[in-house]
């Protein structure tokens, strides 16, 4: 295993999922998505790790995350990149994640309370983009906000099942798409629901 991958796996194993949960803490050790209120979930741990590794984060990566949720995935992104821009549409989740990640000592995360289905144009382009909610199709705005040599990871499909899709933009702006897995996420609200 390459050393960066090893570092990410080691950090992930030490990350206490209970810290990101206000209820159901006794279930935190299960490899399952769990409720965090407002009909939303903290993602399945093995999927969080798989998605983090698939994004191929670099120490100088500027990352956009859509769907902050509990902040569990955000912590991994922030630990292994330069800066993270994360957007959440539910105020209570946004507030709690911001509080938690501040308490955990992260200083490289910028939080936005908004509909992130069309990205966060103000700070584009991003080297990496991760969407943690399911879209019916790949948002054109996110592809536009992706830097050259960038990677965008997003679940695409129906509410019942989605293809976890990795889109890679080459140095000339050409985009290729690969399906990595089949997943089931809560819907990405807004234009691409």
Binding site for ligand SAM (CB under 6 A): 40-43, 66-67, 69-70, 72-73, 87-90, 93, 115-117, 132-133, 185-186, 188-190
Nearer to ligand SAM, 1 or 14 (CB): 14
Nearer to ligand SAM, 40 or 149 (CB): 40
Give the dihedral of Cα atoms 44, 45, 49, 54; nearest 10 deg. 0
* Minimum distance of ligand SAM from residue 79's CB (angstroms): 14
DSSP classification of residue 167? E
Least distance to ligand SAM, CB of residue 148, Å: 25
* Closest CB to ligand SAM among residues 2, 13: 13
Per-residue tokens: 29: 């050790």
Among 180, 174, 171, smallest CA distance to 153 is for 180
Of 81 and 117, CB closest to ligand SAM: 117
Least Cβ distance, residue 170 to ligand SAM (angstroms): 27
Confirm if 177 and 151 have CB atoms less than 8 A apart.
no
How far apart CA 102 and CA 94 sit, in angstroms, is: 12
CB 96, min distance to ligand SAM, A: 10
Catalytic residues: 43
Outline where the chain has alpha helix (H).
Answer: 3-14, 45-54, 72-79, 91-103, 140-145
């Amino acid at each position: 295993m390459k050393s960066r991958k090893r570092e990410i796996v080691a950090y992930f194993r030490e990350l206490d999922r209970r810290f990101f949960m206000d209820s159901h803490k006794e279930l935190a050790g299960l490899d399952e998505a769990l409720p965090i209120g407002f009909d939303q979930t903290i993602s399945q741990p093995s999927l969080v790790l798989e998605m983090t590794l698939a994004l191929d984060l670099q120490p100088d990566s500027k990352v956009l995350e859509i769907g902050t949720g509990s902040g569990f995935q955000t912590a991994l992104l922030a630990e292994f990149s330069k800066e993270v821009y994360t957007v959440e549409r539910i105020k209570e989740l946004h507030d709690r994640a911001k509080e938690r990640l501040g308490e955990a000592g992260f200083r490289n995360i910028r939080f936005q309370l908004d509909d992130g289905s069309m990205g966060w144009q103000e700070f584009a382009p991003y080297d990496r983009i991760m969407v943690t909610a399911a879209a019916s199709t790949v948002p054109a705005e996110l592809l536009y906000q992706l830097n050259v040599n960038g990677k965008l990871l997003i679940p695409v499909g129906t509410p019942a099942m989605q293809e976890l899709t990795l889109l890679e933009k080459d140095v000339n702006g050409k985009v290729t798409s690969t399906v990595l897995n089949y997943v089931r996420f809560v819907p990405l609200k807004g234009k691409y629901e």
